[in-house]
Amino acid sequence: MPWTKVLIDKADLENASKDGLRNITYRAALLEAQRQLLATRPEVYLLGEGIDDPGGVFGSTLGLAKEFGHERVMDTPIAENGLTGIAAGSAMCGLRPIFIHMRMDFLPMCLDQIANHAAKWRYMTGGQVTCPLVIRSIIGRGWGSAAQHSQALHGLFTQFPGLKVAVPATPYDAKGLLLAAVDEGGPVMFCEHRWLYEFKGYAPEEQYKVPFGQAVVRKTGTDVTIVAVSLMVYEAVKAARELEAEGISAEVLDPRTIKPLDTEAILASVKKTGRLLVADAGGVMTGISAEIAAQVCEKGFQYLKAPVRRVGLPDVPTPAAPELEKAFYPGLAEIKAGARELVNYRAEGK
């Protein structure tokens, strides 16, 4: 069974330690996965802007260039589109590159290479040419990072056939999904929310893989299903704990990958609870929350006791001012309010 607990506060970590579980940060889990890949897989290499800087991509690549050399861990110039093409071409020639692109805001400059080449070659060649490229990229809220450095575009990449999209929320999944992504056989968008790097959780020291397309229930419940993506997993679990005091039993489901999406697990939960709230770290306008809502309405409408609710970013550019950020970014309060509305919903005339 996969590890399902989300360690939110100090008490959770202390209890896990008492159980003999090894707890590390999200960034340490990514660093360990890459170190193990470089040590055991000669075809794996890393490239990206700033991966050998003192910050080491928020600490997730620290020391790797010194340990494995600059031929395996390459600091690159600011040339996103060209470097994506180099990484994709090397993948087609038998290597297993991990291209680290810190700012997802600038990945649209690489869309031709990602959507029209990396994602298509396996299909266009009848499987004769594959492109096992992993693109690590950071999504979500910064600290006053504003409109051009705070976007969460993970939902955008689900629209391109041939791409897979991972959105790990825990250290366990960050390590396991990254190890699995290298062997997926095609391009993988690996999306990391920047606020997750300090979060701690259980992750084994040995290598292991988390399968794509398998959601996990983070907390069981009977009244409402909350499908939470990336950072919102933590907000949803906190909300579910607090809602218990109000007599509301919320089930929290983490899809872990949004392409492939584990629709069966989502439908099974909605069948049990009759209500669905989707909480995403990205925008609600045509985002992954819209897709999840649509699939449940198409395939499980008969289970619903209330309309589907969504929590996500509004359709406006990200503000920089702290007070405006507070209004822009949803979280615990919005999830709790949405769950209450669903549980208390009464159709007109009833």
180 three-class SS: helix
Active site residue 193: no
Indicate whether 102 pLDDT > 90: no
Q: What is the pLDDT of residues 247-257, one digit of tens each?
A: 999 999 999 99
Q: How confident is the model at residue 78 (pLDDT cuts 50, 70, 90)?
A: confident
Strands 200-202 and 134-139: unpaired
How far is 320 from 298, CA to CA, in rounded Å? 38
Euclidean distance between CA atoms 134 and 342, whole angstroms: 38
Alpha-carbon distance values, 309 to 175, 224, 226, 247, 345 (Å): 31, 11, 9, 20, 11
Q: What is the pLDDT of residue 84?
A: 93
- Residue 77 confidence (pLDDT) above 70: yes
Of all helices (H) and strands (E), which one includes residue 266?
helix 263-273
| Contact (CB, 8 A) for 268 and 227 | no
Q: Are 172 and 140 in contact (CB under 8 A)?
A: no
SS3 149: coil
Where is 270: in which H helix or E strand?
helix 263-273
CA distance 53 to 48: 11
Residues 200, 7: contact at Cβ < 8 Å? Answer: yes
Q: CA-CA distance, 179 to 159, in Å (whole number)?
A: 24
* pLDDT bracket for residue 18 (50, 70, 90): confident
Whether residue 2 is predicted with pLDDT greater than 80 in this model: the reply is: no
Nearest-angstrom CA–CA distance, 173 and 256: 7
**How many CB atoms within 10 Å of residue 147?**
12
CA 120 to chain centre: 23
In total, the chain counts a number of residues equal to: 350
* pLDDT band (50, 70, 90) for residue 1: low
- Residues 6+ away with beta carbon under 8 Å from 254: 169, 173, 215, 216, 217, 218, 227, 228, 229, 233
Is the predicted pLDDT of residue 15 greater than 60, yes or no? yes
Distance of alpha carbon 147 from the chain centroid = 20
**Is pLDDT at 105 greater than 70 in this prediction?**
yes
pLDDT for 282 = 94
Residue 231 has pLDDT above 80, yes or no: yes
pLDDT digits (tens, 9 = 90+) for 163-202: 999 999 999 999 999 999 999 989 999 999 999 999 999 9
User: To the nearest 10°, the Cα dihedral for 205, 64, 164, 252?
Assistant: 40
More confident residue, 144 or 42: 42
pLDDT given at position 128: 94
How high is the pLDDT of residue 114? 95
Could you give the C-alpha distances from 93 to 88, 123, 188, 256, in angstroms and in order? 9, 16, 17, 29
Among residues 70, 101, 117, 149, which one is catalytic? 149
Find the helix or strand (DSSP H, E) in which 36 lies: helix 26-40
User: Is pLDDT at 349 greater than 80 in this prediction?
Assistant: no
Q: Domains in the chain, please, with CATH?
A: 10-202 (3.40.50.970), 216-343 (3.40.50.920)
239 Cβ partners below 8 Å, 6+ apart? Answer: 226, 250, 332, 335, 336, 339
Distance from C-alpha of 170 to C-alpha of 255, rounded to nearest angstrom = 12
Average pLDDT of every residue of the chain: 94
Q: What pLDDT does 348 receive? A: 59
**What's residue 20's pLDDT?**
85
* pLDDT score of 148: 83
